């Protein structure tokens, strides 16, 4: 570590949980796991994507819009109370009912005093077999930004955002020291044997690349376990992890069970890595205008 870098320790908690049909039970589990992480020293705790229910996007069913809620609402009220009680910052995921007929996949940031700091609405919305999210969610309109909490400045993106370097870059450019990616990703059971290892590897590698390219910590909590659906269902692969600013995995949860990870991170590592690998210095911002185009034809 350079002489200019004093240690800045922060403990990240990632909740890897299974979800059941009972939404109240899922919220109670989430609050209990936040408490468990806090008791082990976590200061910022992140829950997986859409933890309040089973992953409903396996089918296009208008009845499932009834799962949505406003912000503030029941989920944020419970998480704000938990944050204040435990003295931790919390990132929670909410199926947001913004207005009649207008819904978002939204992450909320709650500080350790129980205040709702802000929201991030999922910008990249997938539409794949058993991941029919475009039916439910309107793309976000709040942009890529970071949030000041008591313990660190953090950025939050959601699941499918993981695959897009632009979102990670812009969030890091806003000052984020840690990128959190609340996630619900899993295998189609009939694909797992042939493609499962490669799919998981690509998922983790992509996020570790965001850590390296931007010199930030990356933390991704995923749900775990099999959830039935109208087709074959989905086998959520867990493997929640934290990466340091050079892409080294500091901790990883298993594929096959629930776990609460608590990981110590030294934010001074950001300065150290960026000084030795100065990607921000060497970016050619004068040459990237075409990134705002859909494609460069011809």
The confidence band for 5, taking pLDDT boundaries of 50, 70 and 90, is low
Question: Is residue 295 one of the residues assigned to a domain?
Answer: no
Q: Does some domain include residue 298?
A: no
- Expressed as residue numbers, the domain containing 253 is 9-285
pLDDT band at 298 (very low <50, low <70, confident <90, very high): confident
pLDDT in tens, 123-149: 999 999 999 999 999 999 999 999 999
Condensed to tens digits (0 to 9), the pLDDT of residues 173-200 reads 999 999 999 999 999 999 999 999 999 9
* Residue 297 in domain: no
On whether residue 94 sits in a domain, the answer given is: yes
Answer yes or no: is pLDDT of 4 > 60: no
Residue 56 falls within a domain, yes or no?
yes
For residue 142, what are the contacts with CB-CB under 8 A and spacing of at least 6? 119, 120, 121
Is 4 part of any domain? no
Say if residues 75 and 27 touch (Cβ distance below 8 Å): yes
CATH code of residue 60:
3.60.110.10
Query: Stretch 209-234: mean pLDDT, rounded?
Result: 96
Q: How many structural domains comprise the chain?
A: 1
User: Taking every pair of C-alpha atoms in the chain, what is the biggest distance, in angstroms?
Assistant: 59
The answer to whether residue 104 is domain-embedded is yes
In a domain, 78, yes or no: yes
User: pLDDT tens-digit profile of 47-104?
Assistant: 999 999 999 999 999 999 999 999 999 999 999 999 999 999 999 999 999 999 999 9
């Amino acid at each position: 570590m350079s002489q200019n870098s004093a240690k800045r320790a922060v403990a990240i908690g990632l909740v890897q949980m299974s979800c059941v049909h009972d939404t109240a039970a899922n919220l109670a589990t989430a609050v209990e796991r936040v408490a468990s992480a806090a008791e082990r020293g976590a200061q910022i705790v992140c829950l997986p994507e859409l933890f309040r229910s089973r992953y409903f996007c396996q089918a296009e069913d208008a009845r499932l819009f009834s799962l949505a809620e406003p912000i503030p609402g029941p989920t944020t009220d419970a998480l704000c109370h938990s944050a204040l009680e435990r003295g931790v910052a919390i990132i929670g995921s909410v199926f947001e009912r913004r207005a009649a007929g207008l819904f978002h996949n939204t992450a909320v940031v709650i500080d350790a005093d129980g205040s709702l700091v802000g929201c991030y609405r999922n910008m990249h919305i997938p539409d794949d077999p058993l991941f029919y999210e475009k039916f439910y969610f309107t793309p976000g309109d709040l942009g890529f930004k970071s949030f000041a909490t008591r313990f660190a400045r953090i950025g939050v993106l959601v699941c499918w955002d993981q695959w897009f370097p632009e979102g990670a870059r812009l969030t890091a450019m806003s000052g984020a020291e840690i990128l959190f990616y609340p996630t619900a990703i899993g295998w189609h059971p009939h694909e797992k044997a042939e493609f499962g290892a490669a799919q998981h590897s690509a998922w983790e590698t992509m996020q570790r690349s965001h850590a390296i390219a931007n010199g930030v910590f990356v933390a991704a909590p995923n749900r775990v376990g099999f959830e039935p659906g109208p087709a074959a269902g989905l086998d959520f692969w867990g493997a929640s992890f934290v990466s340091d600013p050079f892409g080294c995995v500091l901790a990883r949860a298993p594929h096959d069970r629930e776990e609460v990870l608590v990981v110590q991170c030294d934010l001074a590592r950001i300065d150290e890595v960026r000084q030795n690998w100065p990607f921000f210095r060497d970016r050619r911002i004068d040459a990237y205008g075409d990134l705002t185009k859909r494609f460069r034809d011809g």
